């Protein structure tokens, strides 16, 4: 069964826009778990424009499902992850001023760096995932670096889905097959939604996990959080 990890960054963005603690990030995360989410994802950026370091510690203390921390492995990020020791860390190559992640790692060019960082996390028993484009070479070098999983960056699939779903998903299926042949676990995320998730999962049914935030939180404004999580889970059956 493919697991649904809810990215709660947007909840923190809403809280930070007004100050105070409304909405309560920790309560929302616990509600997501209660409503059927299989995990919680956060992406603490250096400027703390959404998730704060204090949120990460607070969540670690109470979550009962899988906790995934994603981000650019700067020294501060590495230190945070090693202290918190989540179930999974996902390495994302985003610059501090990026609005959102918009590309995967060049795992060939950064092989030595990624190997060193992944080794440090694996020594502490933290499962590792590397964010990559749907490219066989990038998947192969993630495996060489020692990653446990790759997370396919799915924005190109989401962008092309309406025009030609079969064509849009093709490179992702090929990359997913390469990952499976190398013994890598497989995650996916970015712009997956109720509109395109079911087809993506049907084409790649061996997915371990999808991480979804922006679309899911937007849907929850109309459907409510409980029903929204149920709808996303139905796409993964």
Which of 33, 66, 70, 140 is labelled catalytic?
70
Is 87 tagged catalytic? no
Q: What was the pLDDT predicted at 101?
A: 65
Which of 33, 43, 66, 140 is labelled catalytic?
43
User: Known binder of ligand: residue 208?
Assistant: no
Alpha helix (H) residue ranges in the chain: 9-18, 25-34, 53-62, 75-84, 111-123, 136-145, 155-161, 165-181, 197-203, 214-223, 225-234
- Going by the DSSP 8-state scheme, the letter that residue 156 receives in this structure is H
User: Known binder of ligand: residue 18?
Assistant: yes
Q: What is the pTM of this model?
A: 0.95
The token pair that represents 170 in the structure block: 């093709």
The token pair that represents 94 in the structure block: 């985003």
Is 174 tagged catalytic? no
Q: In tens digits, what is the pLDDT along the chain, a chain of 237 residues?
A: 999 999 999 999 999 999 999 999 999 999 999 999 999 999 999 999 999 999 999 999 999 999 999 999 999 999 999 999 999 999 999 776 655 667 899 999 999 999 999 999 999 999 999 999 999 999 999 999 999 999 999 999 999 999 999 999 999 999 999 999 999 999 999 999 999 999 999 999 999 999 999 999 999 999 999 999 999 999 999
List, in order, residues 6 or more apart from 167 with CB less than 8 Å away: 160
User: Known binder of ligand: residue 214?
Assistant: yes
User: Known binder of ligand: residue 50?
Assistant: yes
User: Known binder of ligand: residue 201?
Assistant: no
| CA gap 3, 54 in Å, rounded | 26
Say how many CA atoms lie within 13 Å of 137 toward its Cβ: 7
Coil vs helix vs strand at 152: strand
- Going by the DSSP 8-state scheme, the letter that residue 121 receives in this structure is H
Q: What was the pLDDT predicted at 103?
A: 85
Q: What was the pLDDT predicted at 97?
A: 63
Q: Is the peptide bond before 28 cis (omega within 30 degrees of 0)?
A: no
Q: What was the pLDDT predicted at 94?
A: 79
Q: What was the pLDDT predicted at 111?
A: 98
Which of 33, 190, 201, 209 is labelled catalytic?
190
Q: What was the pLDDT predicted at 99?
A: 56
The token pair that represents 2 in the structure block: 């493919």
């Amino acid at each position: 069964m493919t697991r649904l990890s809810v990215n709660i960054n947007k909840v923190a963005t809403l809280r930070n826009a007004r100050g105070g603690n409304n909405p309560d990030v920790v309560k929302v995360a616990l509600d997501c778990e209660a409503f059927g989410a299989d995990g919680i994802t956060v992406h603490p950026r250096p400027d703390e424009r959404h998730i704060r370091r204090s949120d990460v510690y607070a969540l670690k203390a109470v979550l009962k499902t899988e906790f995934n921390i994603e981000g650019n492995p700067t020294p501060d990020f590495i230190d945070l992850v090693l202290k918190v020791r989540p179930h999974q860390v996902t390495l994302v190559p985003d610059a501090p001023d990026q609005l959102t992640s918009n590309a995967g790692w060049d795992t060939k060019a950064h092989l030595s760096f990624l190997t060193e960082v992944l080794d440090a996390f694996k020594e502490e028993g933290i499962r590792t995932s590397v964010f990559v484009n749907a490219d066989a070479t990038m998947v192969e070098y993630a495996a060489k670096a020692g990653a446990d999983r790759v997370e396919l960056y799915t924005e190109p699939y989401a962008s092309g889905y309406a025009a030609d779903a079969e064509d849009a998903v093709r490179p992702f299926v090929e990359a997913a097959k390469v990952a499976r042949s190398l013994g890598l676990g497989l995650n996916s995320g970015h712009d997956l939604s109720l509109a395109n998730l079911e087809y993506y999962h049907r084409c790649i049914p061996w997915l371990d996990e999808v991480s979804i935030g922006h679309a899911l939180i937007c849907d929850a404004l109309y459907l409510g959080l409980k029903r929204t999580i149920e709808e996303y889970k139905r796409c993964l059956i």
